[in-house]
C-alpha cells in the first residue's frame, strides 16, 4: 500500500525564502495596465512639465495632488481630470499569500502552502529589483498580517518572515475553524490600500471563492493590474488505477480505498467539477490566472507563465 508522505517541502523558513532572490532576476511581469477612462491614452509627449514625461489623462481620484489637475480638460468635460507623468505613475505592489489550512496539502514535491510562499517571494524580489515598492498580506484561517509597500530589502525580508511564521504554524492536526471567507476579508484589506496603479498578485488555491470574491477582484482590476496565481496539486488529476493510498501529514493519516470503483469515481468527479469551476471563473473574471503546480519547481513554472502572459498582452 503506497504512502504519500514527505519530510521536505512541508514547511519553509525565512532563510530559504530570502535565498530565492537569486532565482527571481529573470522574471518579467506584464506591462502596466492602460487606464479604462474615456479620456485616457498611452500618449507620449515631448512637452515639459515639472521635468517629467507626460503619460496620460485620467479622472481625478481621492488623494491625487490638486496641482496635477488639467483645468482646461476639466472645464470641457465638467469633471476633474488629472495629468499623469511617468515618474509619478509608479506601480507599488501588494502580494497576497494564502496560508490557510486548505493549502497544507502536497502529494509530491511540496505542500501548496510552501509553493505559494515560494511564488510570493520570487515575485517580491523581482518587483523590488525593478525599482518598485513592494509589500503584501499573509493570511490564514484566523489572522491577516500586513507589510506596507516599501522600496527596500528590509520590507521584502519582513514579508518573508511573516510568510514563514504562518507557514510554520500549519499542521495536519489543525483544530481551528476553517474560514473560506478569509479570502474575501483579505481582499477587502487590499482594496482599502490599492486605490489605483498598483500591481496586485493574489497567490492561493482560491478555495471558497464566491460571487463576492469575483466582485472584489473585478473592482481591484478596474484601476490596478491584478494577477492571480492558482496553486494546485495534481494528485486528483492523476490517481492510481488501483490499490489504496494513505495520505499522511505526520500525526494524522487518511486512507483512500481507490480499489473501490465508487470511491475512485467520486474523487474523479470532484476533480473534474473543481477544474471546470475554476476555468469558468477565470473566463468570467478575464484576469490572468497562472496555474502553478506544487509538484514541480516553482521558479521555472512562474518564469514560463509570466512570459506567456506578457506575450498575450503584447498581442492585444
Q: Using H for helix, E for strand and C for coil, what is the string for the chain?
A: CCEECCCCCCCCCHHHHHHHHHHCCCCCCCCCCCCCCCCCCCCCCCCEECCEEEEEEEECCCCCCHHHECHHHHHHHCCCEEEEECCCCCCCEEEEEECCHHHCCCCCCCCHHHHHHHHHHHHHHHHHHCCCCEEEEEECCCCEEEEEEECCHHHHHHHHHHHHHHHHCCCCCCCCCCCCCHHHHHHHHHHHHCCCCCEEEEEECCCCCCHHHHHHHHHHHHHCEEEEEEEECHHHHCCCCCCCEEEECCCCEEEECCCCHHHHHHHHHHHHHHHHHHHHHHHHHCCCEEEEECCCCHHHHHHHHHHHHHHHHHHC
pTM: 0.73
Mean pLDDT across the stretch 144-156? 96
C-alpha cell at 184: 474575501
Asked if 301 and 292 count as a contact pair (C-beta separation under 8 A), the reply is yes
243 pLDDT more than 80: no
What's the confidence (pLDDT) of residue 185?
A: 96
Residue entry with cell 506584464: 30
The pLDDT tens digits for 250-293 are 444 455 555 666 655 665 666 666 667 777 777 777 888 899 99
Q: What percent of the chain has pLDDT over 90?
A: 44
The pLDDT tens digits for 117-144 are 999 999 999 999 988 999 999 999 999 9
How many whole angstroms separate alpha carbon 56 and alpha carbon 9?
46
What's the confidence (pLDDT) of residue 116?
A: 98
Identify which of 112, 151, 116, 152 has the alpha carbon closest to the alpha carbon of residue 137.
116
The residues near 260 (Cβ < 8 Å, ≥ 6 apart) are none
Quote the mean pLDDT of the chain. 79
Asked if 185 and 212 count as a contact pair (C-beta separation under 8 A), the reply is no
**Position 88 confidence tier, pLDDT thresholds 50, 70, 90:** very low
What's the confidence (pLDDT) of residue 255?
A: 54
Name the least confident of 53-62, 174-183, 229-238, 244-253: 244-253
The pLDDT tens digits for 3-37 are 333 347 899 999 999 999 999 987 876 544 444 44
What's the confidence (pLDDT) of residue 66?
A: 84
The pLDDT tens digits for 216-240 are 999 999 989 999 999 998 876 665 5
The pLDDT tens digits for 29-39 are 654 444 444 33
Output 47 or 113, whichever has higher pLDDT. 113
CATH fold of the domain at 3-30+91-315: Rossmann fold (3.40.50)
Domain segments of the chain: what residues? Answer: 3-30+91-315, 33-89
Amino acid at each position: 500500500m503506497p504512502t504519500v508522505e514527505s519530510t521536505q517541502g512541508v514547511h519553509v523558513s525565512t532563510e530559504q525564502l530570502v535565498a530565492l532572490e537569486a532565482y527571481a532576476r529573470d522574471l518579467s511581469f506584464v506591462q502596466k495596465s492602460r487606464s479604462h477612462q474615456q479620456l485616457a491614452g498611452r500618449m507620449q509627449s515631448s512637452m515639459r512639465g515639472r521635468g517629467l514625461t507626460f503619460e496620460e489623462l485620467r479622472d481625478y481620484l481621492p488623494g491625487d495632488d490638486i496641482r496635477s489637475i488639467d483645468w482646461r480638460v476639466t472645464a470641457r468635460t465638467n469633471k476633474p481630470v488629472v495629468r499623469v507623468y511617468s515618474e509619478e505613475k509608479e506601480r507599488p505592489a501588494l502580494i497576497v499569500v494564502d496560508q490557510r489550512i486548505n493549502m497544507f496539502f502536497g502529494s509530491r514535491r511540496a505542500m501548496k502552502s510552501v509553493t505559494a510562499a515560494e511564488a510570493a517571494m520570487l515575485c517580491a524580489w523581482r518587483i523590488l529589483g525593478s525599482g518598485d515598492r513592494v509589500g503584501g498580506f499573509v493570511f490564514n484561517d484566523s489572522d491577516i498580517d500586513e507589510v506596507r509597500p516599501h522600496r527596500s530589502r528590509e520590507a521584502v525580508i519582513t514579508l518573508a518572515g511573516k510568510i514563514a511564521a504562518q507557514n510554520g504554524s500549519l499542521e495536519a492536526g489543525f483544530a481551528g475553524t476553517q474560514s473560506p471567507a478569509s479570502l474575501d476579508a483579505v481582499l477587502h484589506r487590499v482594496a482599502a490600500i490599492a486605490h489605483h496603479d498598483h500591481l496586485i498578485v493574489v497567490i492561493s488555491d482560491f478555495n471558497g471563492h464566491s460571487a463576492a470574491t469575483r466582485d472584489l477582484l473585478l473592482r481591484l482590476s478596474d484601476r490596478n493590474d491584478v494577477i492571480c496565481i492558482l496553486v494546485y496539486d495534481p494528485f486528483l488529476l492523476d490517481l492510481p488505477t488501483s490499490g489504496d493510498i494513505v495520505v499522511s501529514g505526520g500525526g494524522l493519516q487518511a486512507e483512500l480505498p481507490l480499489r473501490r470503483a465508487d470511491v475512485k469515481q467520486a474523487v474523479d468527479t470532484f476533480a473534474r467539477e473543481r477544474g471546470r469551476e475554476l476555468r469558468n471563473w477565470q473566463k468570467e473574471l478575464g484576469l490572468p490566472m497562472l496555474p502553478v503546480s506544487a509538484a514541480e519547481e516553482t521558479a521555472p513554472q512562474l518564469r514560463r507563465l509570466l512570459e506567456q502572459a506578457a506575450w498575450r498582452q503584447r498581442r492585444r
